[in-house]
Amino acid sequence: MTTEAKPSTRDRLLEAAAALTYRDGVGIGVEALCRAAGVSKRSLYKLFDSKDELLAASLEERAAAFAATLLPAVDDGRSPRERILHVFEQVESQAGVPEYRGCRYLAVQVELKDQSHPASRVAHHVKANLTAFFRSEAEQGGASDPDLLARQLSLVFDGASARAGIGADQLTGLIAPTVATLLDVAGMR
């Protein structure tokens, strides 16, 4: 007979922080976080110095899954161009889900404004890693200016996920041609 282990208090807090901040934003109160996690405030403050630290830990914990959902496997045999397009195919696919609210890391940066906030630092790092992926692929694909292309692709990523997240646009038929145009102009193969 196998029994499922009950998630730890820490795991429940991290999950509540991820779910509530994605749905409602970073202004969610400590009481709501504790209620959603089924824990006391005392438990929260035993595990985390502050709500800010909880938010940062929650974002950090999801960073690997964020990358795994978006980025192709290392050395998957596709060309750099195809690897970049894969990222935007994933965004398009995710944006088709009704509960999609855009990129959680971008949302945190926009909401907090304070770049020194622990959660903002985590979000900045995750987004910098995505830009670094674009830059690496652009270099390998022979882009005329890999740094510029990486920044442009990050701009398209953020704009597309934000517009889809607020329901302002459907990405189908919009994002792939936009990215393909940028890749063509940069000489990507």
Query: Is 59:105 a contact under the CB 8 Å cutoff?
Result: yes
Q: What is the pLDDT of residue 119?
A: 97
Positive or negative: CA dihedral 6, 64, 106, 108? positive
Query: Is 60:122 a contact under the CB 8 Å cutoff?
Result: yes
Identity of the amino acid at 177: P
Which tens digits make up the pLDDT trace of 33-74? 999 999 999 999 999 999 999 999 999 999 999 999 999 998
Given a cut of 90, is residue 2 above it in pLDDT? no
64 vs 61, 125, 137, 172, CA distance in Å?
A: 7, 12, 19, 26
pLDDT band at 3 (very low <50, low <70, confident <90, very high): low
Name the CATH superfamily for 56-185: Tetracycline Repressor, domain 2 (1.10.357.10)
- The residue ranges of every structural domain in the chain are 56-185
| pTM of the entire predicted model | 0.92
